[in-house]
C-alpha cells in the first residue's frame, strides 16, 4: 500500500480557470492529466504538491483535428484515442504506433499525449519509495547531491522515457503552451534539455494545450521501434523514430532519426546529410546510418539492464526502422 | 480534508465521505467497503485494481477519486447478479482460470470490457486486451481459455446450458454451479478444466462443468 500525501484536487472546466489556479497557488500547485506518471511519483514522495489542477475537463485541451496540412491533437487526448484513430493511423502511422506501444491498455486509456510529452525522467535510483531512497542516500535529482549512476558526475543522467516525443521530433511537431503570462509555441525538437532533474523548457505554471504536427507528404516514410523487457506495460529501454523522404528512385532527400530512452534528452542523430542524403537507401546506407547512431549513443546504468546490451541494440533497432520505412507495409491492424 | 463524493458504482448512486487525496481504489475499498478490486502494486504495474470507468478499463490505484464523480464505475462486484455468477466468472471457474485469485477481479474487468465491445474476440485480441494484467499463478493459458469459453457461453446461452439438462435445466446462461455433483457428472470430460475447455472448442459443447479442483 502506497499512501498519498494530502492535497486539494481542483477540477477547472476552462483554460482560464486552470491558469488562475496555477497562478494563485504558485509553486505549491502542479497540473495533472491522466496521472499515470504523477500519481506513482507522488506515492514515492518525489512530488508533494498541495494543489493539483486537473486538466482533463478543459475543452481547449481536447479534440483531434486532422487537416490537409496539419494535425492538431489536444494535450488531454488519451494515448488510446490516438492509437486507434483511423485518420491518424493513416496519416501519422509512426505516432499512432508509438502511442499504442506505451505501457498497457488501461494506462493508455488514462495517459494523455500532453502528459507523455511532459513525462518526468526515470532512473533506477529515483523511481523508488521514500524508504528505499532514504536507505541508500538521496540522489542529485531529488533531495541529494550525488549521482548513484555516475558516482562522480554533477549532472543528472535520468532517462527521458516517453515514446511519443521521438516521433514528434521526426515529424517536426510544435507544442502550444499557455501560462498566466501568455502563450508561446515551441518545436518539440527544442522542448527538451540535457538535464535529468528537469528535462524540458516548460515553466512549472505552463500548460501544454495542443500538439500541432505537419502532415508529411506521401513520399515521406516513417517508423517507430521500441525495446523493452516484456511486450507490454514496460517503459522503453530504447526507442527509435525516423522519418525519411525518398524520391522515385529511393534516393534520400531528407532523413530524421531520433534515438531515445537512453539519456535525459531524445538524441537527434547528427551528420546524416553526409552519409545518407543524396544516396539511394540501399543496404550500405542503412548500415552506415545504423553505425552512426551506435557511435553517438552511450547508455548508462540509469536503468537496471546491461548498458552494453542496450547500446548494441541501437543499430539493430535503427536498421529495423530503416527497413520498415524502405518497404512501407500496410497500416498495422 | 474530507469531502463527500458521489459515485455511481455498479448502477447505484453512492455518497462517500473520504479524504480529498484518496484514489478511486481507496474510495471503493475503504470508503464503500467494496474490496473486490485489489490493491496489488498500488502504482500502475499489475492491473489488479482494474475497474471500468464509463465502460473503459482503468487502473483505480492511479485514478484520483474525484475523477470518477458522475461517471459510471463498474467493479467486479457488479458482474454477478444476486445468487448467480456472470458467465465470465463461470468460465473462469470451469477452466481453472483463477488460482490464488488475486489478479482475477482485474482480469475479469479487462475481459468484460473486451466482450462488451467485441463479443467474439480472437485469441490474439484477448491477449491484447489482457496485456495490462499480470498473473503470477496460472501461466495465462487457462485465463485465455476462460475468456474464449465465456464468449461462447454469452453467444449461445442455450447450448451452453445443455450439460445441466437434469436438475439445472431451467438455469439461465452459464448458471452452472460447478461443485454440483449432478451437473458435474453430466458434463463431458469432467476431469480437469483444461479438457473441458478443449472439448468445448471442438464442438461447442456444454459447459463444461469441471468436476473437482479448479
Ligand atoms: C507501469 C507503467 C508503464 C508505463 N510505460 C510507459 C511507456 O512504455 N512509455 C511511455 O512513454 N510512458 C509510460 N508510462 C508513463 C505514462 O503512463 C505515460 O507517459 C503517459 O502518457 C503520461 O501521461 P499522463 O496524462 O498520465 O501524465 P500525468 O501523470 O498526468 O502528468 C505527467 C507530468 O506532466 C505534467 N503534465 C501533464 N499534462 C500536462 C499538460 N497538458 N501541460 C503541462 N504539464 C502537463 C504533470 O504535471 C506531470 O508532471 C508508464 C507508466 C506506468 C505506471
Ligand atoms: S494495484 Fe493498480 S496497477 Fe497494481
Ligand atoms: S491467479 Fe494468482 S495471480 Fe493470477
Disruptive mutation site among B46, B59, B70 for chain A (greatest number of A CBs within 10 Å): B59
Q: Do A233 and B62 touch (CB under 8 A)?
A: no
End-to-end CA distance of chain A: 38
Rounded percentage of chain A residues whose pLDDT exceeds 70: 98
- B65-76 pLDDT, tens digit per residue, is 999 999 999 999
Tell which of B50, B78, B106 closes a domain: B78
Contacts of A1 in chain B (CB under 8 A): 39, 42
Amino acid A333: pLDDT:
52
Check pocket membership of A107 for ligand 1, CB cut-off 6 A: yes
Q: Is the pLDDT of residue B180 over 80?
A: no
Tell which of B51, B78, B105 closes a domain: B78
- A186-206 pLDDT, tens digit per residue, is 999 999 999 999 999 999 999
Same domain, B143 and B161: yes
Helix (H) or strand (E) holding A176: strand A174-179
Q: Which domain holds residue B54?
A: 2-78
Q: Is the pLDDT of residue B209 over 80?
A: no
Same domain, B125 and B64: no
Same domain, B57 and B150: no
Whether residue B87 lies within 8 A of chain A, CB to CB, comes out as no
Listed range (A129-138, A148-157, B103-112, B187-196) with the worst mean pLDDT: B187-196
Same domain, B121 and B170: yes
Rounded percentage of chain B residues whose pLDDT exceeds 90: 71
Listed range (A154-163, A266-275, A321-330) with the worst mean pLDDT: A321-330
Alpha-helical runs (H) found in chain A: 15-25, 38-43, 79-84, 86-91, 93-100, 105-110, 113-117, 130-136, 164-170, 188-191, 272-275, 283-296, 307-326
Q: Is the pLDDT of residue B63 over 90?
A: yes
Spacing, Cα A205 to ligand 2 middle (Å)? 30
Listed range (A45-59, A107-121, B182-196) with the worst mean pLDDT: B182-196
- A231-289 pLDDT, tens digit per residue, is 999 999 999 999 999 999 999 999 999 999 999 999 999 999 999 999 999 999 999 99
Strand order in the sheet with A238-246: A220-227, A238-246, A252-260, A267-268
The residue-averaged pLDDT of A42-62 equals: 98
Q: Do B47 and A104 touch (CB under 8 A)?
A: yes
Q: Is the pLDDT of residue B164 over 50?
A: no
The ipTM, to two decimals, is 0.96
Which CATH number do you get for residue B27? Answer: 3.10.20.30
Contacts of B59 in chain A (CB under 8 A): 36, 106-107, 110
Check pocket membership of A163 for ligand 1, CB cut-off 6 A: yes
Confidence class of residue B156 from pLDDT cuts 50, 70 and 90?
confident
Q: What's the longest Cα–Cα distance across chain B? A: 58
Find the radius of gyration of the CA atoms of chain B. Answer: 18
Q: Is the pLDDT of residue B176 over 60?
A: no
Same domain, B99 and B188: yes
A62-118+159-214: CATH architecture: 2-Layer Sandwich (3.30)
CATH class of A220-326: alpha beta
Whether residue B71 lies within 8 A of chain A, CB to CB, comes out as no
Q: Is the pLDDT of residue A211 over 90?
A: yes
Question: HEC profile for A63-89?
Answer: CEEECCCEEEEECCCEHHHHHHCHHHH
Which single residue is written with the C-alpha cell 515553466?
A203
Q: Is the pLDDT of residue A19 over 90?
A: yes
pTM of the model: 0.90
The residue-averaged pLDDT of B185-200 equals: 36
CA-to-CA separations, B204 to A8, A253, B155, in angstroms, rounded: 54, 57, 11
Spacing, Cα B87 to ligand 3 middle (Å)? 19
- Chain A contacts in chain B segment 100-129 (CB below 8 A): 110, 128-129
B87-95 and B193-203 are packed helices; what angle lies between their axes, rounded to 10 degrees? Answer: 120
Confidence class of residue B205 from pLDDT cuts 50, 70 and 90?
very low
Q: Is the pLDDT of residue B193 over 90?
A: no
Whether residue B57 lies within 8 A of chain A, CB to CB, comes out as yes
**What mean pLDDT, rounded, does chain B reach?**
81
Burial code (b: 16+ CB inside 10 Å, e: under 16) for A249-286 equals eeebeebbbbbbbbbbbbbbbeebeebbeeeebeeebb
Which atom of ligand 3 is the closest one to the Cα of B100? 2
Residue nearest to atom 37 of ligand 1 (CA): A115
Which atom of ligand 3 is the closest one to the Cα of B99? 1
Task: Tell me, yes or no, whether B194 lies in a domain.
Answer: yes
Please report, for chain A, the start and end positions of each structural domain, with discontinuous segments joined by +: 8-54, 62-118+159-214, 220-326
The shortest C-alpha distance from A108 to chain B (Å) reads 9
Task: Tell me, yes or no, whether B212 lies in a domain.
Answer: no
Same domain, B117 and B196: yes
The shortest C-alpha distance from A2 to chain B (Å) reads 6
Which CATH number do you get for residue B126? Answer: 1.10.150.120
Ligand nearest to the CA of B40: 2
Same domain, B70 and B98: no
Same domain, B58 and B123: no
CB A270 within 8 A of CB A296: yes
Whether residue B20 lies within 8 A of chain A, CB to CB, comes out as yes
- B209 vs A104 pLDDT, higher one: A104
Q: Do B44 and A39 touch (CB under 8 A)?
A: yes
Whether residue B74 lies within 8 A of chain A, CB to CB, comes out as no
Same domain, B114 and B197: yes
Amino acid A209: pLDDT:
98
Same domain, B91 and B188: yes
CB B29 within 8 A of CB B50: no
Task: Tell me, yes or no, whether B102 lies in a domain.
Answer: yes
Check pocket membership of B41 for ligand 2, CB cut-off 6 A: yes
Which of A1, A36, A105 shows the shortest C-beta gap to B44?
Answer: A36
Confidence class of residue B1 from pLDDT cuts 50, 70 and 90?
confident
Listed range (A200-204, A307-311, B98-102, B160-164) with the worst mean pLDDT: B160-164
A193: left (phi over 0), alpha (psi -120 to 50) or beta: beta
Same domain, B47 and B137: no
CA dihedral angle for residue A32, residue A37, residue A40, residue A46, rounded to 10 degrees: -80
Which atom of ligand 2 is the closest one to the Cα of A106? 3
Rounded percentage of chain A residues whose pLDDT exceeds 90: 95
Check pocket membership of B45 for ligand 1, CB cut-off 6 A: yes
Q: Give me the total of CB pairs closer than 8 Å, taking one residue from chain A and one from chain B.
A: 85
Listed range (A173-187, A231-245, A318-332, B159-173) with the worst mean pLDDT: B159-173
Task: Tell me, yes or no, whether B6 lies in a domain.
Answer: yes
Amino acid A179: pLDDT:
98
CB A176 within 8 A of CB A185: yes
Which single residue is written with the C-alpha cell 537496471?
A304
Q: Do A232 and B62 touch (CB under 8 A)?
A: no
Same domain, B96 and B138: yes
Domains held by chain B: number = 2
Confidence class of residue B173 from pLDDT cuts 50, 70 and 90?
very low
Ligand nearest to the CA of A112: 1
**What mean pLDDT, rounded, does chain A reach?**
96
Listed range (A162-176, B68-82, B97-111, B147-161) with the worst mean pLDDT: B147-161
Tell which of B78, B105, B131 closes a domain: B78
Q: How far apart are CA B190 and CA B197, in angstroms?
A: 10
Amino acid A327: pLDDT:
72
A8-54: CATH number: 3.30.43.10
- The DSSP result for B31-63, as a single string, is IS--TTS--SSSSSSS-TTEEEETTEEEETTSS
Amino acid at each position: 500500500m502506497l499512501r498519498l500525501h494530502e492535497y486539494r484536487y481542483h477540477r477547472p472546466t476552462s483554460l482560464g480557470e486552470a491558469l488562475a489556479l496555477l497562478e494563485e497557488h504558485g509553486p505549491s500547485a502542479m497540473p495533472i492529466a491522466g496521472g499515470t506518471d504523477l500519481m506513482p511519483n507522488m506515492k514515492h514522495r518525489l512530488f508533494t504538491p498541495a494543489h493539483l489542477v486537473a486538466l482533463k475537463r478543459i475543452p481547449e485541451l481536447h479534440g483531434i483535428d486532422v487537416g490537409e496540412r496539419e494535425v492538431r491533437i489536444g494535450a488531454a487526448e488519451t494515448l488510446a484515442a490516438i492509437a486507434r484513430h483511423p485518420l491518424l493511423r493513416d496519416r501519422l502511422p509512426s505516432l499512432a504506433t508509438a502511442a499504442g506501444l506505451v505501457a498497457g491498455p488501461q494506462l493508455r486509456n488514462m495517459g494523455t499525449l500532453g502528459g507523455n510529452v511532459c513525462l518526468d525522467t526515470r532512473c533506477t535510483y529515483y523511481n523508488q519509495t521514500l524508504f528505499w531512497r532514504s536507505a541508500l542516500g538521496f540522489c542529485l535529482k531529488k533531495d541529494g547531491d550525488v549521482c548513484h549512476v555516475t558516482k562522480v558526475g554533477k549532472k543528472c543522467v535520468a532517462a527521458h522515457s516517453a515514446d511519443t516525443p521521438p516521433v514528434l521530433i521526426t515529424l517536426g511537431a510544435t507544442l502550444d503552451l499557455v501560462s498566466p503570462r501568455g502563450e508561446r509555441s515551441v518545436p518539440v525538437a527544442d522542448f527538451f534539455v540535457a538535464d535529468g532533474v528537469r528535462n524540458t523548457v516548460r515553466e512549472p505554471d505552463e500548460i501544454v494545450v495542443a500538439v500541432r504536427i505537419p502532415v508529411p507528404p506521401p513520399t515521406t516514410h516513417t517508423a517507430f521501434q521500441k525495446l523493452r523487457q516484456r511486450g507490454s506495460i514496460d517503459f522503453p529501454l530504447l526507442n527509435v523514430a525516423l522519418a525519411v523522404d525518398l524520391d522515385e528512385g529511393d534516393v534520400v532527400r531528407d532523413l530524421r532519426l531520433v534515438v531515445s530512452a537512453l539519456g535525459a534528452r531524445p538524441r537527434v542523430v547528427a551528420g546524416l546529410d553526409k552519409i545518407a542524403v543524396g544516396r539511394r537507401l540501399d543496404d550500405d546506407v542503412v548500415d552506415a546510418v545504423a553505425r552512426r547512431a551506435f557511435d553517438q549513443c552511450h547508455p548508462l546504468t540509469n536503468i537496471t539492464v546491461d548498458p552494453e546490451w542496450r547500446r548494441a541494440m541501437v543499430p539493430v533497432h535503427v536498421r529495423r526502422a530503416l527497413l520498415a520505412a524502405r518497404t512501407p507495409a500496410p497500416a498495422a491492424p | 480534508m474530507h469531502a463527500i463524493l458521489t459515485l455511481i458504482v455498479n448502477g447505484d448512486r453512492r455518497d462517500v465521505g473520504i479524504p480529498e487525496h484518496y484514489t478511486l481504489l481507496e474510495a471503493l475499498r475503504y470508503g464503500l467497503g467494496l474490496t473486490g478490486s485489489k490493491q496489488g502494486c498500488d502504482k500502475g504495474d499489475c492491473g489488479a485494481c482494474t475497474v471500468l470507468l464509463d465502460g473503459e478499463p482503468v487502473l483505480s490505484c492511479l485514478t484520483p477519486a474525484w475523477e470518477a464523480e458522475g461517471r459510471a464505475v463498474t467493479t467486479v462486484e457488479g458482474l454477478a447478479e444476486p445468487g448467480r455468477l456472470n458467465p465470465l466468472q463461470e468460465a473462469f471457474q470451469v477452466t481453472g482460470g483463477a488460482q490464488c485469485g488475486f489478479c482475477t477481479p482485474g482480469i475479469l474487468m479487462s475481459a468484460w470490457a473486451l466482450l462488451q465491445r467485441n463479443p467474439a474476440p480472437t485469441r490474439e485480441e484477448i491477449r491484447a486486451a489482457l496485456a495490462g494484467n499480470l498473473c503470477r499463478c496460472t501461466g495465462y493459458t487457462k485465463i485465455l481459455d476462460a475468456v474464449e469459453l465465456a464468449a461462447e457461453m454469452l453467444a449461445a446461452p442455450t447450448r451452453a446450458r445443455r450439460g445441466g439438462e437434469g436438475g439445472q435445466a431451467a438455469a439461465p446462461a452459464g448458471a452452472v454451479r460447478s461443485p454440483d455433483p449432478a451437473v458435474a457428472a453430466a458434463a463431458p470430460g469432467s476431469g480437469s478444466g483444461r479438457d473441458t475447455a478443449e472439448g468445448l472448442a471442438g464442438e461447442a459443447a456444454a459447459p463444461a462443468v469441471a468436476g473437482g479442483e479448479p
